Structure 1
Amino acid sequence: MSFSIAELFAQHSTDKFDLHEQFLNNQMVRVLKTIGYDRHYKRAVGQYLYDQHDNEYLDLLSGFGVFAIGRNHPTVISALHETLTLELPNLVQLDVSVLSGLLAQEILKTTPDNLTKMFFCNSGTEAVEAAIKFARYTTKREKIVFCEHAYHGLTMGSLSLNGEPIFREGFGPLLPGCSAVPFNDPAALEQALSGKDIAAFIVEPIQGKGVNLPDDNYLSEVEKLCKKYGTLFVADEVQTGLGRTGKFWAIEHWNVKPDMICMAKALSGGFVPVGGVAMTTKIMDSVYNRMDRAVVHGSTFSKNNMAMSAGLATLHVMQEENLVENSAKVGDDIIATLNAMTSKYEFLKEARGKGMMIAIEFHAPKSLTLKAAWAMLEAANKGLFCQMITIPLFKEHRILSQVAGHGMNVVKLLPPLNLTQKDRDHIIAAFDKTIYDTHQISGAIWDLGKNLASHALKGKTGK
């Protein structure tokens, strides 16, 4: 009897919600059904998703930044197919692989020249875990400093550096010796580092939760302070890296040289999970300092041929299609055009970001009627207004977007880097219409708002 994934998918494509309710996270199914995102997607190409009725959706989440080159890119598919059919030796373990060496070489061509070694793993959180361990061993210090509102992953070490309480609650005790400082505050950082007992300061060049940008001199001050106090400077570029911000690495905007860069997400091309840490030779040689320590840290599936092939193909596509340049051009245009709307919409505070990492923030209006409507939503659940943006964007304009974080009125866009001018125009028109509708208090969109508020209040009371 033959085995066919195509047949299985065709037979069960509309069973996914039932399967998840029975065997997986049923709360996620409840969320999707409550907000009307329970679609049955049957295929995906580039920046678009298609449901069973062949409706096209513009995906501005790209799998939380994974599909930077778009979904199902033919170059990566070809590379993976070729890798599968070559019958290559894979994960021999008592060996080293050609493909991982080549991928390391290609990545290090893009990093600051002080970073000369690569460590591969399977995800962003594994990259952060490795950075924690490598920093501790290299400096012989235990403490790690991170930023408030940071996001570095959900495994225990990474979670200990997570600045959002909702992710940490109930999972303690967490890794000892981890403390937070405000983002964008060099004075607070210096106070934390001044005891000369901090192994590493880990920071997102642009914070993912909220898309918070640093002041122009912040990261250069971080670099100076870390050098002054013997602390390793770790840039978490899991989300911001590989062209997301209009530069290959976000740190390029501020011309800094960290001691380590954590990466993942876009490096996989969206097919095979792959993460990594670029680091100085000093760090690598400190951790792997004797032959009996050659396997002191690793991961069974890291450097597997499929992951390395996906990474090599992804880097090739980014260069061939000029995706970093397109990210800067189209992304910055979207930000500027949305910002120009603030003069006509009271709810719209600003658009910000760099490249294809974009935040659209909303705030309390001045008009009494609008202010009362805003207050009603905020009383029910802080940050609820953004659902009045993202849900109509999805239902009426077939644009998939997300709220940037818990309790904040910020919509976040992480589009594929290959957005076209047509996509850009569709995004602008959809936001213009949706934000306009929120200013019509008697309109249908506020029926949605009242319904959302009712659900939020029921959730608080448990009724």
Structure 2
Amino acid sequence: MTFSITELFAQHATDKFDLYEQHLNQQMVRVLKTIGYDRHYKRALGQYLYDQDGNEYLDLLSGFGVFAIGRNHPTVISALQETLTLELPNLVQLDVSVLSGLLAQEILKTTPENITKMFFCNSGTEAVEAAIKFARYTTKRQKIVFCEHGYHGLTMGSLSLNGEEIFREGFGPLLPECSSVPFNDLVALEKALANKDVAAFIVEPVQGKGVNIPNDNYLPEVERLCKQYGTLFVADEVQTGLGRTGKFWAIDHWNVQPDMICMAKALSGGFVPVGGVAMTQKIMDTVYNRMDRAVVHGSTFAKNNMAMAAGLATLHVMAEENLVENSARIGTDIITNLNALSGKYEFLKEARGLGMMIAIEFQSPKSLSLKAAWAMLEAANKGLFCQMVTIPLFKDQRILTQVAGHGMNVVKLLPPLNLTEKDRDHIVSAFDKTIADTHQIPGSIWDLGKNLASHALKSKKSG
């Protein structure tokens, strides 16, 4: 009997929620069904998803930034198919691979001139784990400083640098000697570094949770302070890198030179997980300083041929299709056009972001009836207003978005970088319509709001 994935999909086309509930995380299924996101997607192409009825959805989530070049890009598919047919030696381990060398070479063409070496792994959290180890070994210090509300992954080392308590709760004790400072606060950072005992300061150039953008002098001063106190400056570009912010790396907006750059997500092309740490020669030579330390840190599946081929093809697509430039142009248009709506709507505070990393923030209104409605949602669960926006965006406008973080009144857009002007106009029009509906009390959108509040209150009581 032949084995066929096509047949398995055909046989179980509508079984995914039952299978997931039975064998995996049933709470995830409950969430999807509660908010009406329980669709059966059949196909995906570029920036679009298609359900079993042929309905098209504009994906502004892109797998948390994985699908920067869009879903199922034919160039990456072709590269992976070709790699599979070549019968290449793979993961020989007591050998080195051509494709990993080529991918490292291409990545290092894009980094600041002080960054000359690459380490490959499988994911963003693995990249952060490597950066922690490399920083400690290089500096012979133990302490790591990170930012409040930062996000660096969920394995134990990276979780120790996670600025969101909801991810940390109940998983301790975490790594000792890890402490946080407020983002964009140079006084607090210098105080944390002043004893010259901090191995690394790790920071997202733009914070993913909330899309918080630093002041213009923040990262240049971070670089200066780290050099002054002998601390390594680590830029976590897992989400912000590869064109997301309208520059190849987000650090390029401020022309800074970190000691390490962590990357993953978009480098995969959406097919084969790949992560990495780009670093200075000094760090590489310090960690791997003798032949008996050649394998002192690594990852079994890192540098596998499929991952390296996916990375090479992804970089080719980004250059060929001018996706970094498109990210800057279309992203700026979306932010500008959404901000133009703020005068019309009391709930809309602002749109902000860089490139196609965009936040739409909402606020308490001044009108009494709107203020009372807002307070009702906030009392049930802080940030619930955003769910009242994202659900009709999905259901009525067929746009997939996300809330930017726990307890935030911020909707986040993290779309593929190949959005068109038509997509841009659809996004602005959809937000205009949906935000307008939130100002109609009573109205169907506030019936949804009451249901969400009821669910939130029940959840609190059961918790």
Q: Bin the TM-score by the shorter chain.
A: over 0.9
Following TM superposition, by how much is the alpha carbon of 1:184 offset from its aligned partner in structure 2, in angstroms? 0.1
CA distance in 1 between counterparts of 2:439 and 2:256 reads 43
Q: What percentage of residue pairs aligned between the two structures are identical?
A: 87
Partner of 1:259: 259
Letter in 2 for 1:87: E
Partner of 1:402: 402
List gaps (5 residues or longer) in structure 1.
none
Partner of 2:372: 372
Letter in 2 for 1:19: L
Partner of 2:51: 51
Partner of 2:325: 325
CA distance in 2 between counterparts of 1:453 and 1:443 reads 15
Letter in 1 for 2:215: D
Match of 1:119, SS state, is strand
CA distance in 1 between counterparts of 2:81 and 2:430 reads 38
Deviation per residue, 1:36-92 (Å, 9 max, x gap) = 000000110000000000100000000000000000000000000000000000000
CA distance in 2 between counterparts of 1:44 and 1:240 reads 23
Following TM superposition, by how much is the alpha carbon of 1:400 offset from its aligned partner in structure 2, in angstroms? 0.2
Partner of 2:76: 76
CA distance in 1 between counterparts of 2:274 and 2:43 reads 23
CA distance in 2 between counterparts of 1:257 and 1:115 reads 8
CA distance in 2 between counterparts of 1:48 and 1:67 reads 11
Deviation per residue, 1:327-351 (Å, 9 max, x gap) = 0000010001001111110000000
Partner of 1:221: 221
Match of 2:342, SS state, is helix
CA distance in 1 between counterparts of 2:211 and 2:268 reads 23
Partner of 1:194: 194
Letter in 2 for 1:378: E
Partner of 2:139: 139
TM-score normalised by length of structure 1: 1.00
Match of 1:261, SS state, is strand
Partner of 1:297: 297
CA distance in 2 between counterparts of 1:176 and 1:373 reads 44
Match of 1:343, SS state, is coil
Pair 1:39-2:33 in alignment: no
Following TM superposition, by how much is the alpha carbon of 1:443 offset from its aligned partner in structure 2, in angstroms? 1.1
Following TM superposition, by how much is the alpha carbon of 1:452 offset from its aligned partner in structure 2, in angstroms? 0.4
Deviation per residue, 1:160-203 (Å, 9 max, x gap) = 00000000000000000100000000010000000000000000
Alignment map for 1:176-191 (pairs within 5 Å): 176-191=176-191
CA distance in 1 between counterparts of 2:142 and 2:462 reads 42
Following TM superposition, by how much is the alpha carbon of 1:462 offset from its aligned partner in structure 2, in angstroms? 1.3
Letter in 2 for 1:247: K
Partner of 1:349: 349
Partner of 2:241: 241
What's the RMSD between the two structures over aligned residues?
Answer: 0.5
Pair 1:212-2:212 in alignment: yes
Partner of 1:161: 161
CA distance in 2 between counterparts of 1:9 and 1:289 reads 50
Match of 2:92, SS state, is coil
Partner of 1:106: 106
Letter in 2 for 1:388: M
CA distance in 2 between counterparts of 1:66 and 1:203 reads 20
CA distance in 2 between counterparts of 1:168 and 1:5 reads 38
CA distance in 2 between counterparts of 1:10 and 1:415 reads 29
Letter in 2 for 1:394: F
Moved over 6 A (4+): none
Following TM superposition, by how much is the alpha carbon of 1:10 offset from its aligned partner in structure 2, in angstroms? 1.2
Partner of 1:122: 122
CA distance in 2 between counterparts of 1:318 and 1:156 reads 33
Match of 1:262, SS state, is strand
Letter in 2 for 1:321: E
Letter in 2 for 1:68: A
List gaps (5 residues or longer) in structure 2.
none
Pair 1:437-2:437 in alignment: yes
Match of 1:342, SS state, is coil
Partner of 2:280: 280
Match of 2:393, SS state, is helix
The worse-fitting range, judged by mean Cα deviation, of 4-13 and 65-74 is 4-13
Match of 2:361, SS state, is strand
Letter in 2 for 1:435: I
